[in-house]
Amino acid sequence: MLGPPGAGKGTQAERLAAHHGVPKISTGDILRRAVQSGTALGGSAKQAIDSGNLVNDDAVICIVRERLSCADARSGFILDGFPRTVVQATALDAMVGTRGALIVLDIVVPEDVLVQRLASRRICGACGANATADTRQACLKCGGPLVVRTDDGAEIVRERLKVYQRQTRPLVEYYSARPTFRAIDGNQLPDAVTSGIDSAIAAAVAAGGARP
């Protein structure tokens, strides 16, 4: 699942994972938990996250390789937030090997809409879960307070979008020639985006022989 910060990758990845009965693997969630728990990985991740930069490739690749080796990911998985660089994409190709073709979905949203979304986004200050659009008082998972993410401040948002264009946007070029690549209009209501994703997956499976 590709797309800039605020494109709605997390929401759509959760829906897709639930529909297909496979795990949603979010490197952002894993790194934020590491930050909250105060691990060595969390310390280095916090510096990058708070400045709007990406965590180094080696650390993220190790996290994903370990997670994909778990039993629940053997029949499929949804990746949210990985890969974010061409180095990571190359590593993912090696990890997947003969497991089947990757379906790559790029959620496209205009920059001004992204800035608006990120400015109003909230997460749980206790467990780190994202708040839904209709839940602004407390976390639905644990009841914790909803707060602004440290990387959603105005200055950091602008820096994150610059980082995306510089480091992550080349992934579209890396994947776009594959028959299993599809771009999705993310500037719609979530249900419409979900419908577009379902249609894109069906077309990608037909074109590239990937498993849904």
The single residue of 15, 67, 121, 122 carrying the catalytic annotation is 121
- Could you tell me if residue 70 is inside a domain? yes
Euclidean distance between CA atoms 169 and 162, whole angstroms: 10
Residue 1 and residue 13 in contact, taking contact as beta carbons nearer than 8 Å: yes
Q: In this predicted model, which residue has the larger pLDDT, 118 or 104?
A: 104
pLDDT for the residue 153: 64
Locate tokens 């379906």: which residue? Answer: 103
pTM above 0.85, yes or no: no
pLDDT in tens, 166-180: 877 889 999 999 999
The single residue of 67, 84, 117, 122 carrying the catalytic annotation is 84
Band of the pLDDT at 33, cuts 50, 70, 90? confident
pLDDT in tens, 180-212: 999 999 999 999 999 999 999 999 998 875 555
- Could you tell me if residue 37 is inside a domain? yes
- Could you tell me if residue 212 is inside a domain? no
Band of the pLDDT at 18, cuts 50, 70, 90? very high
- Could you tell me if residue 139 is inside a domain? yes
Q: What is the CATH number of the domain that holds 112?
A: 3.40.50.300
Band of the pLDDT at 88, cuts 50, 70, 90? very high
- Could you tell me if residue 211 is inside a domain? no
Candidates 76, 84, 100, 99; CA nearest to 174 is 84
% the chain with pLDDT above 90: 39
The single residue of 9, 15, 24, 67 carrying the catalytic annotation is 9
Average pLDDT of the residues in 151-163:
74
Q: Is the pLDDT of residue 74 over 70?
A: yes
Told to judge if 9 belongs to the known catalytic residues of this protein, a careful annotator would answer: yes
- Could you tell me if residue 115 is inside a domain? yes
Told to judge if 149 belongs to the known catalytic residues of this protein, a careful annotator would answer: yes
The single residue of 24, 67, 122, 149 carrying the catalytic annotation is 149
Q: Is the pLDDT of residue 135 over 60?
A: no
Instruction: Give the structural domain span for 51.
Output: 9-204
pLDDT for the residue 2: 93
Number of domains composing the chain: 1
Backbone angles phi, psi at 70, to 5 degrees: -75, 155
What is the 8-class DSSP label of residue 4? -
pLDDT for the residue 122: 75
Q: Is the pLDDT of residue 40 over 90?
A: no
- Could you tell me if residue 164 is inside a domain? yes
Q: Is the pLDDT of residue 163 over 70?
A: yes
Told to judge if 24 belongs to the known catalytic residues of this protein, a careful annotator would answer: no
CA 164 to each of CA 90, 109, 111, 171: distance values in angstroms, whole numbers, following the listed order: 18, 13, 11, 10
pLDDT for the residue 145: 84
Average pLDDT of the residues in 94-109:
90
Average pLDDT of the residues in 62-90:
90
pLDDT for the residue 100: 81
- Could you tell me if residue 3 is inside a domain? no
β-sheet bridge partners, residue 183: 106
SS3 138: strand
